[in-house]
Amino acid sequence: MRVFKEEQKFTQPLIYIGLTIATLVIFTPIIKEWNSISQLPLNKQLGSLSGGVILGLMAILFLFLKLRTRIDEKGISFKFTPFHFKSILIHWKEVDKAYLRKYNAISEYGGWGIKGGIPWVKGNGRAYNVKGNIGLQLELRNGKRILIGTQKKNEVEAVLKRYSSKIKTNEI
C-alpha cells in the first residue's frame, strides 16, 4: 500500500513583508497620536485600534492556514485548516480523471486559498491551493472539478500511477 501525504503552509516571504508594512502603516500614526487617542471616549479608542485588531487576526490566520492532502487506497482526501473541521474524502469510485497540471492561480481561480473559480471562466471548479502552479486536477463522475495544489509533483505522479487502475475500473 502506497500512501502520499503533504502539508503545505503559506510561507511566502511576500505575505509577511506585506503584513509588516501594513503593521507599520497602521500603528505608526496610532503610536504618534497615542496621547490624543487615549483621551477619547472608549468607543472611539476602539475605532482607532480596529485596523490593528483586524491586521492581527489576519496575521494569526496566515500562521494557522494549512492544506493537508492524503492519497491512499480509499481515495484522495484534503483538509484546509481552519476552514475544514474534518478531511474531505473523494473516493476513487467518484473520480473520472485525476492528473497533474500546471495552472495559473490568479487568472483561473482568482488567487490562492479556497477558490471557486472566477465568474467569467466557466468550468474550472473549485481550487484548494497555498502556493505554486502545479496541482492535482480531479474530474469527478458528477461533473464537478477540483484542483488541489501540490509542491510534490513527482510523488503525486507516482501514487497516481499506483492507483490509476481504481479510476479505470471504478473499484470501490
- Confidence band (pLDDT; 50, 70, 90) for 168? low
- Confidence band (pLDDT; 50, 70, 90) for 23? confident
C-alpha cell at 49: 485600534
Between helices 13-32 and 42-64, what is the axis angle to 10°? 170
pLDDT tens profile 104-119: 998 888 888 888 866 6
Q: In sequence order, what are the beta bridge partners of 134?
A: 102
How many of the other CB atoms lie within 10 Å of CB of 132? 16
- Report phi then psi at 155, rounded to 5: -65, -40
Cell 487502475, residue? 165
pLDDT tens profile 40-75: 887 777 777 788 888 888 888 888 899 999 999 999
